[in-house]
């Protein structure tokens, strides 16, 4: 009895010439014989992450004071002193300044947990636990930022800092609402940003440290706009030439894919870091043996909290892309 070796489209097929072990079909070499070994790339495929800018638009002055979920940070505020008219011979009215403390509750937590199997670690020349941990860290940042940005519009409690009647003095600046969003085009996108800064001006928000977070689609309309005057962005080369999304009308612009979007309606916001207080701490990071398999469990717990501690330092709106 002789052995016949035939080649197929996906590999090689070994069978007896008498047909006792060959059914006439080409065996899948990956499922049966595996005479051709798999060659794994020593370099992982590049993975793209959503850019995060949470640390650039929030303050974290109290981050080092938290240790676990349930912690509470008490933030003292500056009291407002009353200014009164003076009249000769009239007794002065005195007051005892009292500040209203703000509580920043560390009431949220996110975790990751994965198993690095011993077999995979032995067969792979890639540092799996480091690679997986790095990915978990990136995913953690994206998840937390998305949650913070989702609450921005509700957190801006000053009526004149958002909507279609914005402006503490003007009262007629249209920044858009969920029911009546503002359509953004390459023609009016710069005007919209200038209007956001006007709202901040009328709220006496300092010019230093201003920012505006916008979606990528709005950033594209800025790059397509007739922005030929480099002095508007503060850059030496006009945006139309270098494609850089920099500063426009005193505000640094950040493009983010983590802003809320609902049926084509984007929530955008700006202001200074004073508006949102954020505190985060990776309180647990541990490795332990898995009781159910041969491998190491790697898990981490990140506790955090955020609050809109000075909402009058923020401005917000709802836009669509026209």
Full DSSP string of 164-197: SSB-TTT--B----SSSPEEE-TTTHHHHHHHHH
* 274 occurs within a structural domain: yes
Structure tokens at 216: 């990528």
Q: Are residues 121 and 222 in the same domain?
A: yes
- Percentage of the chain with pLDDT > 70? 70
What local confidence, expressed as pLDDT, does residue 278 receive?
Answer: 86
Q: Are residues 308 and 246 in the same domain?
A: yes
Question: Based on the structure, what is the number of domains in the chain?
Answer: 2
Least confident span in 42-56, 84-98, 165-179? 42-56
Of 301, 309, 307, which Cα lies nearest the Cα of 68? 301
pTM score of the predicted model: 0.69
Q: Are residues 114 and 49 in the same domain?
A: yes
Q: Are residues 128 and 269 in the same domain?
A: yes
Angular region, 263: left φ>0, alpha ψ -120 to 50, beta rest: left
Q: Are residues 23 and 161 in the same domain?
A: no
147 vs 128, which has greater pLDDT?
147
Can you tell me the distance from the alpha carbon of 167 to that of 171, in angstroms, rounded to the nearest whole number?
5
Q: Are residues 3 and 69 in the same domain?
A: no
What local confidence, expressed as pLDDT, does residue 264 receive?
Answer: 93
Q: Are residues 220 and 276 in the same domain?
A: yes
Of 318, 144, 315, 140, which Cα lies nearest the Cα of 215? 318
Neighbours of 288 (CB within 10 A): 9
Domain with 143 in it = 40-74+105-322
What local confidence, expressed as pLDDT, does residue 64 receive?
Answer: 55
Q: Are residues 185 and 44 in the same domain?
A: yes
Q: Are residues 6 and 65 in the same domain?
A: no
pLDDT over 50 (residue 25): no
The whole-angstrom distance between residue 107's C-alpha and the CA centroid of its chain comes to 19
Instruction: Supply the CATH number for residue 151's domain.
Output: 3.90.1690
Q: Are residues 196 and 303 in the same domain?
A: yes
* 290 occurs within a structural domain: yes
What local confidence, expressed as pLDDT, does residue 75 receive?
Answer: 67
Sheet containing 295-307, strands listed edge to edge, beginning at the edge strand earlier in sequence: 108-117, 295-307, 277-289
* 91 occurs within a structural domain: no
What local confidence, expressed as pLDDT, does residue 108 receive?
Answer: 83
* 93 occurs within a structural domain: no
Average pLDDT of span 118-129: 63
* 89 occurs within a structural domain: no
pLDDT, tens digit, for every residue of 213-270? 999 899 888 888 776 454 455 555 444 433 346 788 888 898 889 999 999 999 999 9
């Amino acid at each position: 009895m002789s052995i016949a070796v035939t080649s197929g489209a996906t590999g090689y097929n070994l069978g007896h010439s008498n047909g006792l072990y060959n059914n006439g079909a080409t065996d899948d070499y990956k499922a049966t014989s595996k005479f051709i070994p798999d060659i794994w790339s020593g370099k992982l495929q590049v993975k793209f992450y959503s850019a995060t800018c949470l640390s650039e638009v929030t303050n974290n002055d109290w981050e080092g004071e938290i240790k676990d979920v349930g912690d509470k940070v008490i933030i003292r505020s500056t009291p407002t002193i009353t200014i009164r008219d003076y009249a000769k011979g009239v007794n002065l009215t005195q007051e005892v300044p009292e500040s209203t403390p703000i509580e920043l509750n560390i009431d949220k937590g996110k975790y990751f947990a994965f198993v690095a199997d011993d077999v995979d670690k032995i067969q792979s020349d890639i540092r799996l636990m480091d690679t997986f941990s790095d990915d978990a860290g990136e995913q953690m940042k994206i998840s937390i930022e998305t949650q913070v940005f989702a609450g921005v519009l509700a957190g801006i409690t000053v009526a004149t800092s958002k909507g279609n009647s914005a402006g503490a003095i003007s009262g007629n600046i249209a920044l858009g609402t969920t029911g009546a969003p503002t359509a953004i085009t390459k023609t009016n996108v710069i005007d919209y940003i200038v209007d956001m800064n006007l709202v901040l001006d009328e709220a006496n928000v300092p010019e230093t440290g201003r920012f505006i977070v916008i979606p990528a689609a709005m950033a594209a309309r800025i790059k397509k706009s007739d922005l030929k005057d480099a002095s508007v962005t503060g850059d030496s080369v006009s945006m139309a030439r270098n494609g850089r999304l920099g500063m426009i009308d005193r505000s640094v612009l950040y493009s983010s894919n983590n802003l809320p979007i609902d049926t084509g309606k984007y929530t955008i916001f700006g202001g200074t870091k004073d508006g949102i207080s954020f505190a985060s701490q990776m309180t647990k990071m541990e490795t332990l043996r898995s009781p159910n398999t041969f491998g190491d469990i790697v898990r981490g717990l990140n506790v955090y909290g955020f609050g809109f501690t000075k909402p009058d330092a923020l401005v917000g709106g709802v836009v669509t892309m026209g």
